[in-house]
Structure 1
C-alpha cells in the first residue's frame, strides 16, 4: 500500500475534480496501466485507474457524490492510500449482468473476448441505475447487441443500439 497527501484540484477543460498522484507514487506503482483501490481519509474506498497529468504525474477522478460522502471540497487536502485492485474486472459486477452471463454462453464468450476497458464500460453502464429491472434490461440490450456486432470490431455506439 502506498500512502500520500494530496489536494483536490479541478481540470477546468473537463469540469472534473481530481486527486493528483505525484510522480514518485506513479514511479513506485511502476505503470499507469493499473487498476487500483483508492482510500481517501481512511474512510471511503473506491476502484479507480490513473490518468496521465503530465510531467510523470497522474490523477484520479473524484465525483461530487464521493466528495460529499467525505465532507470535503475543492482545494481541501486529503490522505490517499492506493493498493492494486486484484478483482477480475476492476469494479463490482451487478448481479443482473452476472446472472445473464451465466445463462447466455455465447454472450459470456463474447464478453470475455472484449478488452478490459470495454468490459468495464458494460459493467458501469448496467450499474448506472438503481432499479433491478432496468439493470436487467440494460444488461440484455448490451449483450444482445454485443452478439450481433462483428467480433473484434465492437463499439460503444453499437452496443448502445446507436449504429
Structure 2
C-alpha cells in the first residue's frame, strides 16, 4: 500500500509558502520521499500536483504557486485542505504526453535527457508543460530534442531555434 497522509489544513504564508507539520512530513522523509503528490482542496474546488518537501530554519514547508492559489480561488489567510501521497512518478512531475512521445521517438535525445540530474529533467518538463496547445508542445519538444543533439545544455537556450 502506498504512503499517504491524513487530510490537514494550511494557509499560505508570505506569497507562496505552506508550513507543513512535522507529523505529516516525517513519514515521507523517513521512507526517502523528498517529493510528494499533493491534493489541495478549497470549498468545491480541488487540484492535484507534485511538490518538493523542503526544510528551512528547522521547519518544513513547500511552495504553493500563485497559479495553484488562483485555481483554488484562495486568498491570504484562507485555510484549505491538503493531503500528501507517495510520488510514484518517474520524474516527480507530470510529463506531457506530447513530450514523452517525441522524446521516446528520438533515442539520442532521450539518452541525453536521461543523463541530466532529476532537477534539470523536471525543469525541462516544466518548460514544455507551460504551453497549453498540444501542437505547440509537440513543436517545442521537437525543437528541444534537436537542440539537445546539437550540444545545447542551458535551459534558456533549449527552446530557441538556431
* Alignment equivalent of 1:9, drawn from 13, 16, 23: 13
The residue correspondences of 1:67-146 to structure 2 (distance < 5 A) are 67-146=69-148
Structure 1 residues 102, 29: CA separation in 2 closer, same or farther (over 3 Å shift)?
A: closer
Q: Which moved more, 1:28-37 or 1:17-26?
A: 28-37
2:48 matches 1:45: yes
SS of match in other structure, 2:10: strand
Match of 1:13 in 2: none
Match of 2:17 in 1: 18
Note the C-alpha offset of 1:104.
0.8
Match of 2:149 in 1: 147
Note the C-alpha offset of 1:7.
1.8
- Using the alignment, how far apart are the partners of 1:135 and 1:59 within structure 2? 31
- Using the alignment, how far apart are the partners of 1:93 and 1:103 within structure 2? 15
CA RMSD of aligned residues (A): 2.4
Structure 1 residues 95, 28: CA separation in 2 closer, same or farther (over 3 Å shift)?
A: closer
Structure 1 residues 18, 149: CA separation in 2 closer, same or farther (over 3 Å shift)?
A: same
Note the C-alpha offset of 1:109.
1.1
Note the C-alpha offset of 1:134.
2.0
The alignment of Structure 1 onto Structure 2 pairs a total of residues equal to 153
Structure 1 residues 33, 147: CA separation in 2 closer, same or farther (over 3 Å shift)?
A: farther
Runs of 4 or more consecutive aligned structure 1 residues displaced over 3 Å after TM superposition? none
Gaps of 5+ in 2: none
SS of match in other structure, 1:41: strand
Q: Is the 8 A contact 2:17 2:64 kept in 1?
A: yes
Note the C-alpha offset of 1:136.
1.9
